């Protein structure tokens, strides 16, 4: 009997992710399939919801809105900071990524968007924030998770 995808099961999928224009953002093609623990927050909520109840061998296409993916683009996460914030780093260029401490004390990834005499413009949004995501997915396998996988919240 085939297991239906649900919480605390290990799901293995092959996928291709494209944006609204059909440009491939990410894919498991030519690589190992992605294995994740369903219900543990390892996938974006919209895709996890679309996979719920499917079985090994299933194929699906899913469109995930920004709010069910990486969130809406938040303009307040784009800011210009003084050069001193990057003390000890000699060369800073647009496109570089850094770990920064947010106002809540949590580490967050920021990407340099621009460098000027006035400062460095950084963006704390996820690169896919505000993007509608299109997934083409093939479910390879569904199995019971081990106690250790459930306790750790991810596949081993």
46 located within any domain: yes
**Same domain, residue pair 102 and 54:** no
For the domain that residue 107 is a member of, what is the CATH number?
2.40.10.330
CB atoms inside a 10 Å sphere around CB 95: 7
> 15 is written with which tokens?
């996928």
* Global pTM value: 0.84
Beta bridge partners of residue 136, listed in sequence order: 16, 61
Q: What is the rounded CA–CA span in Å between residue 55 and residue 26?
A: 23
**Number of domains observed in the structure of the chain:** 2
> 40 is written with which tokens?
């543990």
Q: What is the CA radius of gyration of the chain?
A: 19
4 located within any domain: no
pLDDT digits (tens, 9 = 90+) for 54-78: 999 999 999 999 999 999 999 999 9
- Find the domain containing 47 and state its range: 9-70+128-152
Contacts of 106 (CB under 8 A, 6+ apart): none
**Same domain, residue pair 140 and 96:** no
pLDDT digits (tens, 9 = 90+) for 75-125: 999 999 998 888 888 899 999 999 888 778 888 899 999 999 889 999 999
The per-residue DSSP string of 43-56 comes to: S-HHHHHHHTT--T
**Same domain, residue pair 113 and 80:** yes
């Amino acid at each position: 009997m085939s297991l239906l995808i649900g919480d605390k099961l290990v799901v293995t999928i092959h996928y291709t992710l494209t944006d609204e224009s059909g440009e491939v953002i990410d894919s498991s093609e030519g690589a190992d399939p992605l294995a994740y623990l369903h219900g543990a927050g390892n996938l974006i909520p919209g895709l996890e919801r679309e996979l719920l109840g499917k079985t090994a061998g299933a194929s699906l296409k899913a469109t995930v809105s920004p709010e069910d993916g990486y969130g809406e683009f938040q303009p307040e996460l784009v800011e210009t900071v003084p050069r001193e914030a990057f003390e000890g780093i000699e060369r800073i260029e647009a496109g570089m990524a850094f770990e920064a401490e947010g106002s809540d004390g949590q580490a967050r990834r920021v990407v340099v968007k621009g460098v000027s005499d006035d400062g460095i413009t950084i963006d704390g949004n996820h690169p896919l924030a505000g993007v509608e995501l299109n997934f083409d997915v093939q479910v390879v396998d569904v199995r019971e998770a081990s106690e250790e996988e459930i306790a750790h919240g991810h596949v081993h």
